[in-house]
Amino acid sequence: MKHKTAYFVGIKGVAMTALAVYFQEKGYEVIGSDVAEKFATDNILKKRNIKVNPGFFPDNINKNYDLVVVTGAHGGMTNIEAEKARKMGLSTYMHGEILGKLMNKKKGISISGCHGKTTTSAIVASLLVHSGFNPSYIVGSASINDLGEAGHYGQGEYFVAEADEYMTCPITNKTPRFMWQKPIIVILTNIDYDHPDAFTNLDQVKETYLNFIHNLPENGSLIACIDDPNVSDILPRVKRNVITYGFSPRSTYRIDKVYCGKETIFMKVLFKNMELGEFMMKIPGKHNLLNGLAASIAANMSGISWDSIKENLKLFTGTKRRFEKIGSVNSTLLYDDYAHHPSEVVATLKAVKEWYPDKRLIIIFQPHTYSRTKALLHDFSKAFTLADIVIFSDIYASKRESNDPTISSKILTAEANKYKRNAHYLAEKEKILKYLSENVKGNDLIMTMGAGDIFSLQKDLLTLLKKLIV
C-alpha cells in the first residue's frame, strides 16, 4: 500500500519538527523545506532520514502530497510553497490548525501560559508514557531527555500539546493558535504581556486566555496557578471546574515546603491541607516545582496514582534548551537556556543561584525580536541583576519583522548598566570568545540564553574552555 506523504513548509522549527516526527510515526512519508541556517532540530531530522529541501521554491510542491503543513515563520500562507499547494487544491494547514484537528480526535491535555509550557507539557507526556498510557504528544522543544524526540504518535487515548496564544498566521489569520484546540484539561501556568506584535496590552492577553479556557467542555477542568496575579484575576469569570495550585494557602494543591539536594529539589505537597507526601525533581527552580505540580495534577486526573507520579517524576531531567547542561571543564560549567522574556530570565537566574550559589554567573544573552526587546526594554534592563557578568549579542530578528533602528542591544546594554554595571555589548561571536578568553575563571558557570541561534556558540565555548581551564 502506498504511504501517504506530508510536506512541511519550514520544517526546522521545534514545533514543526515534533509534528513531522508524529506524522512519520503515524506512517506518513515526511518531506520538508527550510532555510539553510543551523537549527536545534537538524540532528533529529537527519537521524529520521527526513529530506529537507534547502529554501522555498514552488517546484518543491507536487500533486502527490496528501497534506501540507505550514509554519508562520516564513510568511505563513503567503509563502510561495504554501500558495502553490493551495492553488493545486492540496490539503494545506497552518501548524496550529492541524495540531488542533489531531488533538480533538482524542482526550486533549493543553498546556497554556506565557512561560513554562514546554517543560510542563514534557512532564505531562513523560508521566503518561512511564505509566504505560502511550499518549500522543507535541512539545515545543527539539527533544525531551527521558523520551527522545518531542513529537510522538501514540495509540493511547490522550493527546498532550502546548497551547500557544500567538497568531495562527501573522499575515493571513490572527486567530490565536490555541483556539483550534478543544481539550478536556487545560493547564494555565501564568499570564504575562508578550508578543507585542499580536497584543496591544495585558488586558487583551487575559481576554484571549479566557476565551481559550471556555473551549473546554462543560465537564472539562482548568488547572490554574493561583500564585500568578493575572491568572487569579480571571478565575472568577471562568465557568468551568477550576483546580488551583501554587504556594498560596488558597491553593487546592499547595506546595508547603521546599528544600534542595545536590542537583535535586524536593517539595511537600498538600491537597486541601491533607498531606500527599514528598515529590522530588531533577530540574531546578521554584517555577519548575510549580510546573511539576501542575503536570502531576493533570496526570492524576488522567488516572495515574500519586505513588506512580512520585516515582516517575524522578525520571524527568528536562528538555533541550531548558536549563540544559552542555558540558563542564573541571569546575567550570556550560549551560544553555531558551529564556527570552524578562520573567523567564529572572526565574532561570534564580534557579541557577539556588543550585550553584558559589558559582560566578556569566550570561550570554541574545535578545529575540525587535518588537519584544523594545516593548519590554525596562523589564529586560532589570532582569539580569543576579548575573555577575552579562554579555548582550545583537538582536535575533523574527522572520516576520524588519530592522528597527530605535532599539538595539547597545541600547539594552546601556539601560542594564543603570541597575548593575555588569553588562557588555559584544555583537560578534569572535568578540564574545575573545572577552571570555580574557575573563573566564575556574569556578564560573557560563550560560547562553535566548530563543534565537545563540545555542550555536556552544561548541566554540566548550573548545575555548578546554584550552583555558587546566
Q: Which among 180, 182, 187 has a CA at the least distance from the CA of 222?
A: 187
Q: Which three cell numbers stand for residue 16?
A: 514543526
Domain of residue 137, CATH code: 3.40.1190.10
Instruction: State the residue range of the domain holding 249.
Output: 98-313
Give percent of the chain above pLDDT 90: 84
Domain boundary among 67, 90, 113: 90
DSSP-assigned letters across all residues of 20-70:
HHHHHHTT-EEEEEE-SS--TTHHHHHHTT-EEEES--GGG--TT-SEEEE
Decide if 180 is inside a domain.
Answer: yes
What integer pLDDT is reported at residue 237 of this predicted model? Answer: 98
What integer pLDDT is reported at residue 402 of this predicted model? Answer: 75
For the stretch 120-161, pLDDT in tens is: 999 999 999 999 999 999 999 989 999 999 999 999 999 999
Decide if 63 is inside a domain.
Answer: yes
Question: Are residues 375 and 261 part of one domain?
Answer: no
Question: Are residues 333 and 296 part of one domain?
Answer: no
For the stretch 52-97, pLDDT in tens is: 999 999 999 999 999 999 999 899 999 999 999 999 999 999 999 9
For the stretch 404-462, pLDDT in tens is: 889 999 999 999 999 988 999 999 899 999 999 999 988 999 999 998 899 999 999 99
Decide if 12 is inside a domain.
Answer: yes
Domain of residue 372, CATH code: 3.90.190.20
Q: Which among 162, 137, 133, 163 has a CA at the least distance from the CA of 149?
A: 137
What integer pLDDT is reported at residue 34 of this predicted model? Answer: 97
DSSP letter at 77 equals G
Question: Are residues 172 and 289 part of one domain?
Answer: yes
Q: Per-residue pLDDT for 242 more than 60?
A: yes
Where is the binding site, in residues? 113-119
Domain of residue 27, CATH code: 3.40.50.720
Question: Are residues 139 and 14 part of one domain?
Answer: no
What integer pLDDT is reported at residue 88 of this predicted model? Answer: 97
What integer pLDDT is reported at residue 398 of this predicted model? Answer: 79
Where is the binding site for ATP, in residues? 113-119
C-beta pairs of 336-339 under 8 Å, 24+ apart in sequence: 336/447, 336/448, 336/449, 336/454, 336/455, 336/458, 337/447, 337/448, 337/449, 338/118, 338/449, 338/450, 338/451, 339/449, 339/450
For the stretch 24-45, pLDDT in tens is: 999 999 999 999 988 989 999 9
Query: 3-state DSSP helix/strand/coil percent for the chain, to nearest 5?
Result: 35, 25, 35
